[in-house]
Amino acid sequence: MPSLLRTEAEERASLVDVRSYDIALDLTKGDELFGSATTIRFGCTTPHASTFVELRPQEVHSITLNGNPIDVSDVKDGRLWLDHLEADNELVVDATMAYVRDGEGMHRAIDPQDGQAYLYGSPASSTAGKIYACFEQPDLKAPYNVRVKAPQEWAVIANGAAREAADGWRTFETTRPIATYFFTVCAGPFAVQQAEHDGIPLGIYVRATLADQLAEQADEIFTVTQQGFDYYHRVYGIRYPWGKYDQVFVPEFNMGAMENPGCVTLRDEFVFQGHASRAEHLLRATVIIHEMAHMWFGDLVTMQWWDDLWLNESFAEFLAQQGTAEATEFSEAWVDFSAIRKNWGYAADRAPSTHPIAGTPAPDANSALENLDGITYPKGASALRQLAAYIGEDVFLSGVRKYLQTHEFGNASLQDFLYAMSEASGQNIEDWAQAWLLTPGTDVLEISTDGDRVVINRSTPEQFPAQRPHVTDIAAYRHGVQVARADVRIDSDRTEVHGLKLGQAPNLLLPNESDRTWAIVALDETTQAKLPDELPHIEDATVRGVVWSSLLNGLALGTVNPALLLDTFEAAWPVEDVDPLLEAVATMTTGLLPGRFLTVAHTPAALDRLAATGIRVFEAAAASDSRRLTAARLVVATSADIQLLREWLAGRGLPAFLTDDDQFRWSVIGRLASLGAMEIAEIEDWRTKDPSVSGVLRSLSARTRIPSEETKAWAWSQLTEANDNPSSHELGAVARSFFGATEQEITRPYVERFFTELPKLSSKLGDMVLHLLAADGYPTTVVEESTVELAERALHGDLPAGVRRSFVDATSRLREQLRSQERFG
């Protein structure tokens, strides 16, 4: 199917004025198909002109334009061409559509626990035509009138509030103008909790088998939601414009969440089925606040075209951290952002696919999805944080309000945003925007000293020269105590710091100690060597986060020995007292070291040290439940002690809150499987005991992890020989678990097959799913030149765009691992 070109979108936007959609969906036609009847009313600026709508049906029954029939065979390659347009037009399309399993269209999922079906619309950037006939581009917004026919016992949720029900049909209130990719309908036997805040009706929906968990967690979700509304009403000065606010936690969702006005969809893993750490509660709160930010940035004011996707996501990311930190109990949100989100962004910005925050070429609609990455999200958020520091937070906020008020219910571009900021600040910020928003790359900050003279050296990637100003700070530490600090503005490659009185030489001299800017801090080897002794004593969690970030990025840059990271982890991790930082560091360390930056030969000993460190925290008498959970997860991910794992599987030696926790139990099962200490039959027995969605996915993962030729052959067939309608989540469970940290002798024969067979799945899977499988399944643990050679050979072939990008970036990371292993052994 052709992807909409930007040139086509611009031509169509100059021709067409969409006035309304009337959509009727019949969800009672069986397990595979649904009815879709659409009436579009639109104006045309040029009499007798031609244009097209997107339509990807299973079957078309009838089409009329201004009362005149159109041959249904005119629908080709996902487009219906319309000729002889008038000043006022009415297009009526009656079609049958197919449900999807890859999350790109009207997704239909079956809960294996009770066999019930759940449906939700997920149009993404280019699949709304699988649900209804439409002009599928972000700048052709229109009001929607929606009717849905569904079983009487089902809940049906749409963008507008429910108005009436008659003859099996539910009718919903007319929406304000929205873009096509925000349209959704969710339907199924959902359980619901309802409330109201500040005149806004609130609803939370989950599949029926999660009703008990929702009842336990609804108060927290509602509280965060209410705090978010109060925060945004105060910040924006514009009331929430979409009537009611429903949050629907749906199964098999490809993304974290989607900001459909009035009907936000979120992956249902956010309704916790086992005991959750504080970091997981923080993540859920941040996602809720993030999607709510979109009600203004993205929904109220929508980008003109996909090259300004950052106007949606960077703002939502920035405001989600700030709103969560200021308005909810999770005041450590920015620390978590520093430790997790920014490191994701730094990795994206040094990858071959790096791109500017704004103005990234998006020649077609599908290419927009490729840039939903760590640059659009955390780097963009960091740039906005810098802009607020650069022009002043009050001025920044004034500009934001002006921007929203000027373009509400319409569309805007980068230039519209810059105009609002310049008008509010009285400054020309074009140079700032050129350096920060329109030039890729991350600056590296290093310190040089000569007695009391301290200089911050700023280096910029050679291929992307820029003069990025940084409003930041620097601080000195000795035995964990801050002995000096100064604010600093970096405007050149060498900035001498004034007002920083060091006295005795510090153990740690740290630029960007409050993490206000976007830059990697490079510490010299002498300072690095002191970190195992110094880091455990530093009281400021933000500073600790910056240090951890320096170490983790130093692995990729080849400036930090993996052995030093392991030494620092053993010394500092057990005394970390901010739970999200505790979990983030454990997750990243175990994700980067074993079988990646550490050789296969060094991996078992490193895993033993990580597991022993986890045991120290787990057995600490004063540890909270959240800390013990994080520590137990670390032990399970790294321990080779089969006896201990078997005891934990049986519920022995665990705190009461974990003894019957299915999610934790599956982690133990997965680890035993990877050690070759769990047979397929036992895994299947546990799956029978836990028939939930999570049980099915985790059993697939555990079985895939068994280090035997037979199970790897079975898993590969599950991935590459799937039927015509596979579940994207089941495929993902297999892909993420296939290439382990130590079983290269078994998995090496599949490396070439990964590069040759995975791209062929494009005939069965949507672009987003295939892109994720290529990224998540990449054999980064087979750290050999032969893997690079196979990847480069594949890149010379014809690959789907998303797969190509995944291969390019993952191969770059693999080269980083190879360089590190060559340097440090």
Give the residue numbers marked as catalytic: 291
Q: Would you say 440 and 354 are in contact if contact means Cβ atoms under 8 Å apart?
A: yes
Report the distance separating Cα 91 and Cα 93, nearest Å: 7
DSSP string, 318-359: HHHHHHHHHHSS-TTHHHHIIIIIHHHHHHHHHSTT---SS-
Fill in the DSSP letter of residue 195.
Answer: E
Give the closest residue to 180 by CA, choosing from 320, 350, 365, 31.
Answer: 365
Tell me whether residue 647 is exposed, middle or buried, using C-beta atoms within 10 angstroms of its C-beta: 0 to 12, 13 to 18, 19 or more: middle
Give the closest residue to 476 by CA, choosing from 447, 496, 435, 450.
Answer: 447
Tell me whether residue 356 is exposed, middle or buried, using C-beta atoms within 10 angstroms of its C-beta: 0 to 12, 13 to 18, 19 or more: buried
Amino acid type, 26? D
Tell me whether residue 796 is exposed, middle or buried, using C-beta atoms within 10 angstroms of its C-beta: 0 to 12, 13 to 18, 19 or more: exposed
Secondary structure class of 416 (helix, strand, coil) = helix
Report the distance separating Cα 474 and Cα 456, nearest Å: 9
Which residues, other chains included, contact 510 with Cβ-Cβ below 8 Å and sequence gap of 6+?
474, 475, 476, 477, 521, 523, 543, 546, 547
Which residues, other chains included, contact 824 with Cβ-Cβ below 8 Å and sequence gap of 6+?
561, 562, 563
Which residues, other chains included, contact 225 with Cβ-Cβ below 8 Å and sequence gap of 6+?
197, 202, 245, 247, 288, 292
Report the distance separating Cα 134 and Cα 39, nearest Å: 9
Give the closest residue to 315 by CA, choosing from 214, 232, 439.
Answer: 232
Helix and strand counts by DSSP (H, E) for the chain = 28, 29
Which residues, other chains included, contact 695 with Cβ-Cβ below 8 Å and sequence gap of 6+?
112, 662, 666, 686, 687, 689
Residue 560 CB neighbours (<10 A): 24
Backbone angles phi, psi at 263, to 5 degrees: -150, 75
Report the distance separating Cα 499 and Cα 488, nearest Å: 10
- Strand pairing partners for 468? none
- Strand pairing partners for 249? 266
Amino acid type, 133? A
Give the closest residue to 815 by CA, choosing from 558, 523, 440, 444.
Answer: 558
Q: Which long-range contacts (CB under 8 A, 24 or more apart) does 161-165 make?
A: 161/201, 161/243, 161/244, 161/262
Which residues, other chains included, contact 416 with Cβ-Cβ below 8 Å and sequence gap of 6+?
403, 406, 407
Tokens of 242: 């979409």
Q: Would you say 591 and 736 are in contact if contact means Cβ atoms under 8 Å apart?
A: no
Question: What distances in angstroms separate CA 715 from CA 269, 506, 706, 731, 739, one per listed residue?
Answer: 24, 54, 10, 10, 11
Element (H, E) at 497: strand 494-497
First to last CA, the chain: 48
Question: What distances in angstroms separate CA 123 from CA 54, 137, 243, 685, 751, one per listed residue?
Answer: 12, 11, 22, 38, 33
- Which sign does the torsion angle of CA 289, 294, 300, 301 carry? positive
Give the closest residue to 639 by CA, choosing from 663, 618, 662, 660.
Answer: 618
